[in-house]
Amino acid sequence: MLITDIIAKKRDGLELKEAEIEFFVQNYTNGIVADYQASALLMAIFIRGMTKRETAALTLSMANSGERINLDSISGIKVDKHSTGGVGDKTTLIAAPMAAALGVKVAKMSGRGLGHTGGTVDKLESIPNFCTKIEIEKLIEIVNKIGICVTGQTGNLAPADKKIYALRDVTATVNSIPLIASSVMSKKIAAGADCILLDVKMGSGAFVKTEEDAVSLAKEMVAIGENVGKKTVALITNMDVPLGNNIGNTLEIIEAIETLQGKGPRDLTELCVVLCANMLELSQKGSYEECVKLARNTIEDKSAYYKLIEMVAAQGGDTDVIYDTTKLKNAKFEYQVKAQTDGFLSHTDTEEIGMASLLLGAGRIKKEDAIDYSAGIVLKKKYGDTVKKGETLALLYSDDEKLFEASAERLIAGTEISSEKPEEQKLIYSKITKEDF
């Protein structure tokens, strides 16, 4: 079997056999297939797509490319939560401690930034000394003790996905439904949780732009999860508008802490309540309505905030910066982006705003790039807000002031001010379960 034959077959729009997909996954993981050959196949998949059979085969091949974690020694129901990626999406930092504060066991593997979207691991690493490389035995110990551990891909978990994930980020092959579905679900299957909650982002800042594609992706992933015996639910949520006000690693840590203290923006708070409630329902903590009340209470009584502090301490992080976020590293420079006219902020191209943050140093353009954890954007105006000429739309932060001009241009290009107030957008569009297909 030759990788060039497999590339050519997919280039020509033909269905790959399970053995051909397994050959690619194994040999790319082991370094026999080169990056440039893998890039060619990924681009062919991006353009030609994959059948459900191919996607399932790719998912299982990646899940089986390394070890599979056994979480049986953790008592209780283990729930994993995953977002398909968005701008300002720091929900894991909020919803996971909320659920853990109510007895849900969360042993979560998270990823780094991909394209214009941020990554939970990068955000957590902006906390001084926080360890995102936790061995399986230690992860189990932490979850049994405090109920939660959030780490990067641990040990040899789905190494094929780790390599493919990084390559997609720099080859313009990110927003492909089969590649997203197989990437997400290979890690979820290998990670060993009993139940999976998927937050499928839809809109200009997501990898899927339309509701039709979002539902298709959600159904693909729910079907994969259910077929391997994991109760799986997906929510379709809005990413036409950045989530919350802060974009960038340290800035998002700050906003997550504020939200857990009851001082967060409405959209972020509401979404995290819904995500937590679904995690609780999957864990059989009560009816959905009862779970919503329980979720809200973890913010009101600050039990979720203190659970985050426990997690940071357990993973070696400096808890002083959680108690006092002014101790986190601040960017050297600040730049104000001003409105050019009066009106209402009627449109945000959220991907453009994500790219504006990336250009400040908050993300990676090449997979080996270092991140400026303090870089990012604080939105002072959001969709639907009244805007006056000369008012500040956003604050840009970076350690390199030469980056402001290009970032500001990108941000302005991604916003539209009109004379009429726009219609209010939904935060959550639908919920997908196995009963939906």
Alpha helices in 101-176 (DSSP H): 120-124, 136-146, 159-169
Indicate left, alpha or beta for 281 from its phi (over 0: left) and psi (-120 to 50: alpha): alpha
Q: What is the spatial distance between Cα 250 and Cα 207, in angstroms, rounded to a whole number? A: 23
Residue 30, judged by CB atoms within 10 A of its CB (0-12, 13-18, 19+), counts as exposed
Known catalytic membership, residue 53: no
Cα–Cα distance for residue pair 144/245, rounded to 1 Å: 34
Residue among 88, 87, 162, 90 at smallest CA distance from 120: 90
Is residue 263 among the annotated active site residues?
Answer: no
Query: Which is catalytic among the residues 161, 194, 267, 349?
Result: 161
Mark whether 183 is an active-site residue: yes
Handedness of CA 318, 322, 326, 329 (dihedral sign): positive
Please tell me which residue in 78, 105, 112, 168 is annotated as part of the active site: 168
Catalytic residue among 108, 187, 230, 381: 187
Per the CB < 8 A criterion, the answer to whether 331 and 382 are in contact is: no
Alpha-carbon span 188 to 153, nearest angstrom: 11
> Is 229 buried (19+), middle (13-18) or exposed (0-12) by CB count in 10 A?
exposed
| Known catalytic membership, residue 194 | no
Which residue out of 126, 182, 183, 204 is catalytically annotated?
Answer: 183
* Catalytic-role residue among 10, 82, 123, 307: 82
Specify whether the CB–CB gap between 61 and 25 falls below 8 A: yes
Are the C-beta atoms of residues 86 and 206 closer than 8 Å to each other? yes
Residues with active-site annotation: 82, 161, 168, 183, 187
